Structure 1
Amino acid sequence: YVLCALPKMGFAGVNVTLPHKEHARRLVDRCDDAAVAIGAVNTIVIDTHGALAGRNTDAQGFWAHLVDASGRAEWSGARALLLGAGGAARAALWALRRAGVDVAIANRSGARAHALASEFAADAVAWPETPAALGGFDLLVNATSLGMAGQPPLAIDLSAMADTAVVYDLVYTPLATPLLHAAQARGLVAVDGLGMLIHQAAPAFAAWFGIVPAVDAAVRRHLMAALAP
């Protein structure tokens, strides 16, 4: 395994991305409480003994960016529809449930949606029924790979959503996804995935190097330039 070779190569740690976050949870030597509860690891820290410590900073990054970008700090009692059932979806779901948000899950695999909903005391919505169900939600989160470069777009009709709703796409390549274009066309608050990437990276960097980096507009501009085609 690549992970087993990292201590010998002098790594302080690594980030894990889709579709490996749930599998990484089973490969590390130990996990923090968040990673255990979420069932996924996106940050691995290599300790002084060469052991692999799994952490989940996705949930923190997801929530911090939602609050920043939406301008709304209090979400208790709100309703969210979460698309996806992988590692990023699990982190978002955990963060939302901790904040008192009622969550429903839709996934192209209905069995996975129902299993995840059962695990986190959430509801499940059949994938074909997603557009019609949107009217009852304050927040739509795309935690699938749909809309990512090289993947099909997430084609969903947002007309049923309330004018005050927020649409949050965790995809950041491209930064302006078809889903976010549709949200902006409807006049909804559109939240991209780059902020989550930045906010989850800050605690990971601190764990590796003992330095808490700034999360500001300059970092975002730098990343946007790096990700530009």
Structure 2
Amino acid sequence: MTDHPRIPLAGVIGSPIAHSRSPRLHAYWLQKYGLAGHYVPIDVSQTDLREVLLALPKMGFVGCNVTIPHKETVLKLADIVTDRASLIGAANTLIFRKDGKIHADNTDGFGFIANLRQNAPDWKPAAGPAAVFGAGGAARAVVASLIEVGVPEIRVTNRTRPRAESLRAEFGAKVVVCDWVQAGNMLDDAVTVVNTTSLGMVGKPEFLVPLDGLMSSAVVTDLVYTPLRTRFLETAASMGCTTVDGLGMLLHQAAPGFERWFGKRPEVDQATRDAVLG
């Protein structure tokens, strides 16, 4: 009797999950590099999360991505948590190790910076302050990564101020909290401007903060990628700013997980973008 090698399986866990672009992305990379493997969307409720995570490795899963609403909860269920996942307080990438342990990492900050470096090659993060709209999980990853690349000051605003205050409490003096009603004032001399909120996304309210304080030399990015060109980015572009859409962050954050699960570091290029946009 021959011993058949198991085909590695991976997927993305969330609820809802049918809208995720990740299965299309990983399927494209698997096909491009001629690798055996499958990547599937897995809709899991909070109450079933622990049970599912314990069952997946037995079914041949080598790991998975994690999205809303499970990114914080999985930290408590993992055996090993990387420093950056711990700092951000959320994980988006799990590796099911051969010794049975669950390894949790967060590649969102990596994806965010890689997207800016690829699509705004002249970006100089240390040249001046950053302005960040929002203070949720994505903002935490963004703030951690901006500190890491040497941004001297990070101005954060959120519709509910206490969430922004908690970022300052955790990330320290480089974080300056601004009131949402005064958010436009954060843009003075900001060289990096980031929307981490869902404002401007299909089906969500528009992003209405006045942007007239933007410097034309600023790099402006939106984590929203449906639509690809949000009104926030269109306005910034019309003022001469370099703009970077949010799709690249999704693509780049996926690459380290793909490499760990399937053994090949995938390239993020125009063909990858086209494949995901379908």
Deviations 1:81-128 (A, max 9, x none): 111222211111111001110211111110010111121121111111
Match of 2:99 in 1: 49
Match of 2:54 in 1: 4
* 1:194-209 paired onto structure 2 within 5 Å: 194-209=247-262
1:113 to 164, 170, 185: 164
Deviations 1:199-220 (A, max 9, x none): 1111110111111111111111
Aligned to 2:227, the other structure's residue is in SS state coil
Match of 2:79 in 1: 29
Query: What is the CA–CA distance in structure 2 between the aligned matches of 1:59 and 1:78, rounded to whole Å?
Result: 19
Query: What is the CA–CA distance in structure 1 between the aligned matches of 2:236 and 2:56, rounded to whole Å?
Result: 42
Amino acid at match of 2:162: A
Query: Larger deviation: 69-78 or 140-149?
Result: 69-78
Aligned length: 225
Q: Provide the identity percentage.
A: 44
Match of 1:176 in 2: 229
Deviation at 1:191, TM superposition (A): 0.8
Q: Does 1:185 align with 2:238?
A: yes
Question: 2:115–2:252: 8 Å Cα contact kept in structure 1?
Answer: yes
Deviation at 1:159, TM superposition (A): 0.9
1:72 to 101, 111, 122: 122
Query: What is the CA–CA distance in structure 2 between the aligned matches of 1:47 and 1:208, rounded to whole Å?
Result: 10
Amino acid at match of 1:96: L
Unaligned residue ranges in structure 2 (runs of 5+): 1-48
Query: Structure 2-normalised TM-score?
Result: 0.76
Query: What is the CA–CA distance in structure 1 between the aligned matches of 2:158 and 2:59, rounded to whole Å?
Result: 38
Deviations 1:56-103 (A, max 9, x none): 111111111111211225322421011122221111111100111021
* 1:112-151 paired onto structure 2 within 5 Å: 112-121=163-172, 122-151=175-204
- Please tell me whether Structure 1 or Structure 2 has the larger radius of gyration of its CA atoms: 2
Question: 1:22–1:86: 8 Å Cα contact kept in structure 2?
Answer: no
Query: What is the CA–CA distance in structure 2 between the aligned matches of 1:210 and 1:9, rounded to whole Å?
Result: 19
Distance 1:68 1:112, change over 3 A: same
Deviation at 1:19, TM superposition (A): 4.2
Question: 1:19–1:86: 8 Å Cα contact kept in structure 2?
Answer: no
Match of 1:100 in 2: 150
Query: What is the CA–CA distance in structure 2 between the aligned matches of 1:220 and 1:19, rounded to whole Å?
Result: 26
